[in-house]
Amino acid sequence: MAQPLALQRQLLRMASRPHVPWLHQEVGRRMASKLDAIRLQPRHWLDWGGWLGATHTELVQRYPDTPSWVWEPHAALAERSVQAWSATQASSGFWRGWWPFHGQQRSPVIQAPHADALGAVPGWPPEGVDMLWANMALHAAPDLPQRLAFWHQAMASQGFLMCSGLGPDTLKELRLLYREEGWGLCGSEFLDMHDVGDALVHAGFAEPVMDMEHLTLTWPDAQHLLDELQTWGGNVAWGRFAGCRTPRWRQRLLDALTDRLAGPDGRLAVTVEVVYGHAIKPTPRVAVAAEARVSLDEMRQMVKLRGRR
């Protein structure tokens, strides 16, 4: 489990880096390829954590005339998204789908904690968005049930969710090394895809489809491995080592990584488990009873959905 405060500091560090982590880009590319099997063309969509998700441009290519928004969990990340939007507006106009009112220069970036008032966002569809995209967001949630509940609230009935994150086998080689050396936790414990599927159902989603894959990443030496891991953020686990490590300990770590992780070709390898999730927000149903009460918003959604059939 991640510490919320440490997670915020991690987001700040990642926002200060010149580039999005390669792993985030690769996972986003793989998740975007799964859209080929989905026939529904969203009328509008929300990119959750768009800067680190690193796939907004690709999705705008796929849905070029579809209004979209970006939700960012930290002010520094929101600034990066605003800068990216401004740069593309000034050049190719490649992200014109970001804003539903072409010709206006207002940023489509929504910064937390204002996301709890999505209804007040200019142009926001009152019924919610047809697609919510959340690349590499599952493991970055300090409270996954709360986040899933918010996603459900932000979506329209019959809208679909696409999400991804890291699974429990991620860095299993480092976890074993730290455990054997008595060095504490090297990172948070990530959720199994079955647990994520159960959480989606509990949050009100329907027809969850979970998938996972293992990636084996390699580096020429221990220093390059650590440099890459630092671009992923940092250790935000409860129970992590509370003090400062010494240069002597760091050298022990480098030596241990070389001894334990080097393959026949001399390259150091670690495992990354990627979890993908897809689910639908179902149409509200009226319970069969002597007296049934339906909210005005639910009634409006039912009428609109019948009109779309």
- Residue pLDDT, tens place only, 132-180: 999 999 998 888 999 999 999 999 999 999 999 999 999 999 999 999 9
**DSSP reduced 3-state for 42:** coil
Is 85's pLDDT higher than 70?
Answer: yes
Is 221's pLDDT higher than 80?
Answer: yes
Structure tokens at 286: 């009226």
Q: State the pLDDT confidence band at 242, using cuts at 50, 70 and 90.
A: low
Least confident stretch, 24-33, 68-77, 243-252: 243-252
| 68-82, 86-100, 194-208, range with greatest mean pLDDT | 194-208
- Chain centroid to Cα 3, Å, comes to 17
User: What b-and-e string marks burial along 232-249, b requiring 16 or more CB atoms within 10 Å of the CB?
Assistant: bbbbbbeebeeeeeeeee
Q: Which residue has the higher pLDDT, 93 or 245?
A: 245
What pLDDT does 214 receive? 98
Average pLDDT over residues 241-259: 88
Model confidence, pTM? 0.86
The H-or-E segment that residue 145 falls in is: helix 144-154
What pLDDT does 286 receive? 56
Average pLDDT over residues 277-306: 66
Q: Which of 86, 88, 98 is nearest to 123 (CA)?
A: 98
> What domains, with CATH codes, occur in the chain?
4-308 (3.40.50.150)
What pLDDT does 213 receive? 97
What pLDDT does 2 receive? 58
d(CA 151, CA 147): 6
What pLDDT does 141 receive? 86
What pLDDT does 44 receive? 95
What pLDDT does 294 receive? 54
d(CA 167, CA 259): 25
Tell me the per-residue pLDDT of 291-300, one tens digit each, with 9 for 90 and over: 556 555 555 5
What pLDDT does 256 receive? 97
What pLDDT does 130 receive? 97
Q: How far apart are the first and last CA of the chain?
A: 43
- What residues contact 47, with CB distance under 8 A and at least 6 apart? 53, 55, 56, 59, 68, 69, 70, 71, 133
Q: Which residue has the higher pLDDT, 105 or 120?
A: 120
Under a CB-based contact definition with an 8 Å cutoff, are residues 222 and 265 in contact?
Answer: no
Q: State the pLDDT confidence band at 54, using cuts at 50, 70 and 90.
A: very high
Average pLDDT over residues 12-26: 93
Exposure of 8 by Cβ count < 10 A (0-12 exposed, 13-18 middle, 19+ buried)?
middle
Per the prediction, the chain carries an average pLDDT of 85
